[in-house]
Amino acid sequence: AQSVSQHNHHVILSEAASLELGCNYSYGGTVNLFWYVQYPGQHLQLLLKYFSGDPLVKGIKGFEAEFIKSKFSFNLRKPSVQWSDTAEYFCAVNATNAGNNRKLIWGLGTSLAVNP
Amino acid sequence: GAGVSQSPSNKVTEKGKDVELRCDPISGHTALYWYRQSLGQGLEFLIYFQGNSAPDKSGLPSDRFSAERTGGSVSTLTIQRTQQEDSAVYLCASSRAGTSEETQYFGPGTRLLVL
Separation between Cα atoms, residue B76 and residue A97, nearest integer Å: 28
Q: Please give chain B's pLDDT, 115 residues, in tens.
A: 589 999 999 999 999 999 999 999 999 999 999 999 998 778 999 999 998 888 999 999 999 999 999 887 999 999 999 999 999 999 999 999 877 788 999 999 999 999 9
Count of domains forming chain A = 1
DSSP H or E run through A64: strand A64-68
A102 touches chain B (CB under 8 A): yes
Instruction: List CB contacts (< 8 A) between A3 and chain B.
Output: none
Instruction: List CB contacts (< 8 A) between B91 and chain A.
Output: 43-44
Closest residue in A to B4 (Cα–Cα): A43
User: Positive or negative, the Cα torsion across A33, A105, B66, B115?
Assistant: negative
Region A72-93 average pLDDT: 97
| Residues in B lying within 8 Å of A, measured between beta carbons | 31, 33, 35, 41-45, 48, 50, 53, 56, 59, 91, 95, 97-98, 100-109
pLDDT at A52: 92
Closest residue in B to A102 (Cα–Cα): B102
Cβ A103–B107 below 8 Å, yes or no?
no
pLDDT at A70: 93
pLDDT at B100: 73
Q: Which residues contact A116 (CB under 8 A, 6 or more apart)?
A: A15, A83
pLDDT at A110: 96
Cβ A100–B53 below 8 Å, yes or no?
yes
Q: Please tell me the least confidently modeled range out of A61-70, A74-83, A99-108.
A: A99-108
Cβ B43–A45 below 8 Å, yes or no?
no
Lateral strand order in the sheet of B19-24: B5-7, B19-24, B75-79, B65-69
Architecture of domain B5-12+22-99: Sandwich (2.60)
At residue A98, does pLDDT exceed 70?
no
pLDDT at B25: 95
pLDDT at B83: 97
Tens of pLDDT, residues A18-75: 999 999 999 878 899 999 999 999 999 999 999 999 999 999 999 999 999 999 999 9
Q: Which residues contact A40 (CB under 8 A, 6 or more apart)?
A: A86, A87
The CATH number covering residue A49 comes to 2.60.40.10
Asked if B84 and B25 touch (Cβ cutoff 8 Å), the reply is no
Cβ B35–A43 below 8 Å, yes or no?
no
pLDDT at B105: 95
Q: Which residues contact A69 (CB under 8 A, 6 or more apart)?
A: A55
Task: List the beta bridge partners of residue A56.
Answer: A66
Instruction: List CB contacts (< 8 A) between A102 and chain B.
Output: 31, 95, 97, 102, 104
pLDDT at B61: 95
Domain region containing A46: 3-115
